[in-house]
Structure 1
């Protein structure tokens, strides 16, 4: 069995060796490497490496390894890289990498969304853990079991959410170049109980008003104030005055402006989400479920994390996540159709068998980058399946049966322990399961009907590419004599 040590040692030479790696990071499923020269990457060999589920060439070079494994591999890669280069070499590689990033990500909106996502991604494990415990506590309360334990369980599951603004502030300052603890200190103003004594715009503030959006704005302002002070105060005064001025200025602006404004935005998000699903539920679900896979493909789905977190703060669950999770169901259905339809492509079927369990649990990247996107049409039909599943869940929202999730991160079948809503747990789970089955079915049928045997020779979005498994200029199903199976 391939271990994380084996995977790390095997992939380093394929990305140009240790000297070509300038940074190492990871998210829930992807190892993110900064590379000095991407032309040194042997992508074909990297994709064929056991344990590698796909690669994404983005602002960082991303290797899809799956949850759990990615953290172990990232730690091992970091261990293998130290020591690797001199300080001068590292500075030179870093400067080159920053320039390449600047050229590749020229869109300000795209850069801003990714930086905001970077603030929230490290918080996902705590959101998942607390969400699972909150769901368990709810089940115990509804069943009347262990009444002496449920208050303690509620305290454990709710403490993080009560102070999440502090963590958001810390991560915001860290991401945008400030002192993390100062970001946390400024954001703590948002949840401090004493703000109830402060009057702004003629009304008393409420602790937590503005939520994570207020904390994000407060810490971002604090970071800019800190950087402004650092460049203008001499060293002796900088130690004393910069932290004080940062907390004072950012804190006062937060109290007398940001909390009020962010509170209005947060309330609008909650109102809009409720209206969207209760009024236009089926159509909204169709659109959201159908467009989510392209967002995942671009890595922009993480920009929705602040919205999910805001809804969880306000309502106890996010009604958007179960709808968006239907995209993964469409992806699974499409992959199953490819597996049945292209029965002679043993390499592709092997890829599907290895990636399908992760897909059922909501990790869609292996199927996206290993199956549907390279084939083209299955990616579009997977989106159709996601749209159908989203419309199913949205239709029930129009009837007043809301399905939500108490945490973000998992989807697919892994989301069941995190489901919540305004109906019984059984009905909530049944609606979500019905959406999954709809997504599977429509994704399968749409793919099976539109995909021809031998269509593994289609390029992205169905464009023809040089044949590897068929005769040039002949039938799609006629095998070539020099056919070589893909690894």
Structure 2
């Protein structure tokens, strides 16, 4: 009960600071963030929100995102929804300003905000993330069950239970194409169930009786990429039908033509093409780490945080999902997760380099446990990115950690993750490798340790100019202001390279003066 009261209190504290129930147009949440659609952005009190104990930060995107952390956000969101509903039921109808006028004001502000960082490519990546991010909780749950099942099988324990665990772990992955098709149609403005119906063709066992391009199709061929393409096609076919089919016949003709046309193209085209692309992705990932090793890991681990800053990390989500579907794990995620280790090491160095700045040190102390578990937003937006140079040295730490994991991959010790989303210590239960769990854990742990140490040393010795130390290493100076993010969607990066909630994407391009890091 105490926990429920705490979650309701958090929701009650947030609601008036975002303009109250009348200002909230939509409510959703991802791995770490409460995502709100707002009619009027100017009614939000950003500083008061950031000062709430439960709030780790705020991120501005196409929705207003309040970072609460994993677990907490899933409990606060229902309480927030209930409070909004209760307030709307109790409130009298607006008099001075109509709902249409308020919505128009909000739409104008929202359009202005999005225009600052809305390129076609980033908007496309945002849509891709919106398709895959809702699948992350199931990927995590099934991935952990798969790891537990593998451990029990290796130990020879509970032989009567392991088949049931295998079914639980594999059921979702066997049908993931259907969920991708459903979410894709929903995201692109079609009927979700039609997208799922077309994508279901890909996993239907009966496709094994069909020949296409001189080959017999295999159930699941093309995977999530084929499902995504099939559902997008279904949306366009459906919209075409809505324009040309008479209303009296729409309910019969439109869904029939949508499934028929999209299904034929999927069977005799998309499944083959997407299957070839999926195979090429797996082959390239294996080749890259087998031959590039430490060098590839160094580059990938070092560049991930900048990719997040630019909102480009979302392009990796389908690749991770394809590798998991195809090989059972993604070898890229443990390497990219080293970016979080570099961030933690950099934050610890900032803590020691600014012994008299209690404000920044207090922020680091409160955010460090979450950072160790893979939730890096408080450290990124509250410490390293506003300071500037420590963000760069955090990337150095991630590069060295990624180099270690990449080196072991080149030597034949594959380290992968059975799900996307978590990083840091939270990734341990999802690790998978070819030389046993103990070896896999040791390699990933070594990468984290190197990332911590390299990020710490790079930041301690090279992360501060003399002017920066003089300005911030005084007791009366406040912490640097949080940088609002207005980039792509958001798998919470800081939750991990897949989330990256996910997700989040981070601030706008550094070229934008008002959004660039505050110090260099």
Q: Same fold (TM over 0.5)?
A: yes
From 10, 30, 34, the equivalent of 2:33 is 30
Q: Which has the higher contact order (CA 8 A, sep 6+)?
A: 2
Structure 1 unmatched runs, 5+: 459-468, 471-475
Contact residue 171 and residue 180 of structure 1 kept, 8 A:
yes
Are 1:213 and 2:225 an aligned pair? yes
Change (3 A) 1:354 1:405: same
Deviations along 1:21-55, one digit per CA (max 9) or x if unpaired, are 33322211122223334333332222212111112
Displacement of 1:428: 1.0
SS in 1 for 2:244: coil
Displacement of 1:103: 2.0
Contact residue 342 and residue 394 of structure 2 kept, 8 A:
yes
Change (3 A) 1:229 1:444: same
Are 1:80 and 2:57 an aligned pair? no
SS in 2 for 1:231: helix
| Cα distance between partner residues in 1 of 2:114 and 2:478 | 40
From 411, 426, 430, the equivalent of 2:442 is 430
Partner residue in 2 for 1:409: 421
Displacement of 1:173: 0.9
SS in 1 for 2:416: strand
Change (3 A) 1:234 1:96: farther
Partner residue in 2 for 1:8: 11
Displacement of 1:99: 3.1
Displacement of 1:144: 1.3
Structure 2 unmatched runs, 5+: 482-520
TM-score normalised by L of structure 1: 0.91
| Cα distance between partner residues in 1 of 2:55 and 2:101 | 29
Are 1:322 and 2:334 an aligned pair? yes
SS in 2 for 1:408: coil
Deviations along 1:116-163, one digit per CA (max 9) or x if unpaired, are 110011111110010001001111111111222211111111010000
Displacement of 1:303: 3.3
Are 1:165 and 2:177 an aligned pair? yes
Deviations along 1:443-468, one digit per CA (max 9) or x if unpaired, are 0111111245987x68xxxxxxxxxx
Partner residue in 1 for 2:64: 61
| Cα distance between partner residues in 2 of 1:233 and 1:97 | 37
Residues 1-10 or 212-221, more deviating: 1-10
Change (3 A) 1:453 1:376: closer
Change (3 A) 1:98 1:239: farther
Partner residue in 2 for 1:359: 371
Displacement of 1:97: 5.7
TM-score normalised by L of structure 2: 0.85
Deviations along 1:49-96, one digit per CA (max 9) or x if unpaired, are 211111222232222111111123333333333327766356535643
| Cα distance between partner residues in 2 of 1:231 and 1:174 | 19
Partner residue in 2 for 1:338: 350
Residues 249-258 or 12-21, more deviating: 12-21
Partner residue in 1 for 2:402: 390
Change (3 A) 1:453 1:271: closer
Partner residue in 2 for 1:184: 196
Change (3 A) 1:241 1:97: farther
Contact residue 358 and residue 475 of structure 2 kept, 8 A:
no
For residues 292-311 of structure 1, the aligned pairs below 5 Å read 292-311=304-323
| Cα distance between partner residues in 2 of 1:191 and 1:43 | 47
What is the aligned-residue RMSD (CA, Å)? 2.3
SS in 1 for 2:25: strand
Partner residue in 1 for 2:393: 381
Deviations along 1:253-283, one digit per CA (max 9) or x if unpaired, are 0001110110011011101100111111211
| Cα distance between partner residues in 1 of 2:103 and 2:209 | 50
The size of the alignment, in residue pairs, is 469
Partner residue in 2 for 1:124: 136
Displacement of 1:18: 3.3
For residues 216-231 of structure 1, the aligned pairs below 5 Å read 216-231=228-243
